[in-house]
Structure formats: structure tokens, C-alpha cells
Amino acid sequence: MMPILNIALIEGRSNEQKEALIREVTDACVRALDVKPETVRILLQDIATQDFGVAGESVKAKRERLA
């Protein structure tokens, strides 16, 4: 079986952070699902702060308001 994981992130993470996430999530799948690392597929999606809302306002608007 080939696990396919789709992870949505609010934009702003570095490439190094994303690489670390891919490694750690792959390792977790290997341990939890008893699969080989080469079968794990991970899709990272950056979501713009304007396109993600919490409690009635976008993350962008909230960050600007709190700045």
C-alpha cells in the first residue's frame, strides 16, 4: 500500500522546514503503517494568508490588526 498524505500549510515556512517535515512525516508513516519509505508520497500545499480564515477573518487581516 502506498500512503499519500496531503498537508496544507499557511505560507511562510522555509524550504528547510518543509524538507524536515517531509522527513519526519515519512518516518512516522514507516513506523505507524509498516511501509517502506519509498512508498510514502507527501504533497505540501502553501495557502496564502489571505485565503485562510479563522473566526471570521483572514489570517492576513488578523496579523495586520495585531501588528
Contacts of 19 (CB under 8 A, 6+ apart): none
Cα–Cα dist 33/2, whole Å: 10
**CA 8 to mean position of chain CA atoms:** 4
Choose, from 2, 3, 20, 31, the residue flagged as catalytic. 3
As beta bridge partners, residue 7 has: 44
Q: Is 37 a residue of the active site?
A: no
- Residues carrying an active site annotation: 3
